Amino acid sequence: MSLEDAKTEVDHAFTRADFKGPSFENVFAGAPSFLRRRYSKDLAGVDMAVTGLPFDQAVTNRPGTRLGPRAIREASLLQPCDAPYGWGFDVLSEFAIADYGDMAFDYARPDLVPGLIQSHVAGILGQGAACIALGGDHSVTLGCLRAHAEKHGPLSVIQFDAHTDTWADDDLSRVDHGTFMYKAAIEGTVIAERSVQIGIRTDNPDTIGFNILDARDVHRLGPEVIAQKVKKIVGDHPCYLTFDIDALDPAFAPGTGTPVWGGLTSHQAAVAMRDLAGINLVGGDVVEVSPPFDTTGATAIAAAHVATELLSLWAWTRR
C-alpha cells in the first residue's frame, strides 16, 4: 500500500475519477464498494459491472444472505491496492469495472424477484458491460442465467456447490434455491451435458444430465486435474460460473445457510478457478454468504476472493 496515497484518498466509491486503477484508501475507512470501484448506474465505457442481489426468501434452512452483498463488499476492501495474485496482470488497471449497486425490489413479493433479477441483469448487459452478481441465496442465479442466455444463447454452467440444486419442481412460479438449476435445464437456458457441478456431497439421484465432480473427486484428483476435466466438458461454449460458498467446507466458510462437511478447502477452490483460465466466461456470481453465522468474517473474505477471481477469469480471454 502507498502510505502517501492513503493519507489523502477517501470514499473512492464516489470520488475516484475513473473506473480503472488500484485504490490505496485505508482499508478500515470510507464508503465500501466492491474493490473500491466507483458506484455508477451509467455503464458507458465500463467493461464489467458488479451488482448485489440481496434476496434470501427461498432458503431451506438458515437465512441471512440478504446481507451477503454488503459483507462481501466490505471484505473486498483489503484487495484493491495490489493486482490479484498469480494472474500475471491487473484486471483492476486494465479493465473498467464499476459497482452497479444492489437491485431494488419489494421484499413482500418474492414471487416477482426472479423476473426482476432477469431484467436487472439484462439492463447491465444491454449497456455493453459484463456482470458479476453478489448474492443472496442461490435462487438469484436463475434470473442471472436467463438474462445471459437471452444474450449468448443456451449456456454451459460451472457450478461450485455442496448441492446439485436439481431437485424436480415443475411449478416454475416457485422460488426455491434448491430447484433453480432443474428449471434452468428443463427450459433450455442451460445445457446440462456441457455443464459441470464441482464439490457435490449431498444425495440427489437424478442429475438430469449434469456432469458431477464431487468433493471426493476434488480431494482425490486435486484441483489442477479437476480444472482440466471441466475445461474439456465446457470447451469454448459460452459459460456462466456460479459459486455457492457452501462448496467450501464449513471450516473455511461457516457463514452459510446449508453447510455440509467434507467440502473443498479455500486453496483447492483458488487453484481450480485459476486453472480454468481460457474458458469462454460470459458472467458469474457468488452466493449464499450469511453474515449472521460468519462470526470471523472468513466466509465473506472467501466470497470476495471468489468474485475477484471471476473478474480475472472473465478478463483472461479479453486482454
Would you list which residues are annotated within the binding site for Mn(2+)? 138, 161, 163, 165, 244, 246
- The cell numbers describing 318, all together, are 479479453
Q: How many other β-carbons are positioned within 10 Å of the β-carbon of residue 311?
A: 25
Phi, psi of 284 (to 5 degrees): -175, 180
Give pairs for 182-189: CB < 8 Å, separation 24+.
Answer: 182/208, 183/142, 184/141, 184/142, 184/145, 184/146, 184/157, 185/209, 185/210, 188/154, 189/145, 189/146, 189/149, 189/154, 189/155
Determine the residue type at 268: Q
Question: Residues marked as binding?
Answer: 138, 161, 163, 165, 244, 246
Rounded to whole angstroms, how far apart are CA atoms 64 and 129? Answer: 29
In terms of Cα–Cα distance, which of 134, 146, 137 is closest to 99? 134
In the DSSP assignment, the letter for residue 56 is -
Joined together, the cell numbers standing for residue 104 give: 431494488
CB distance 91 to 315 below 8 Å: yes
E strands in 245-304: 281-287
Considering Cα of 37, then 41, then 47, then 53, what sign does the dihedral take?
positive
Distance, in Å, from the CA atom of 81 to the CA atom of 314, rounded to the nearest integer, reads: 20
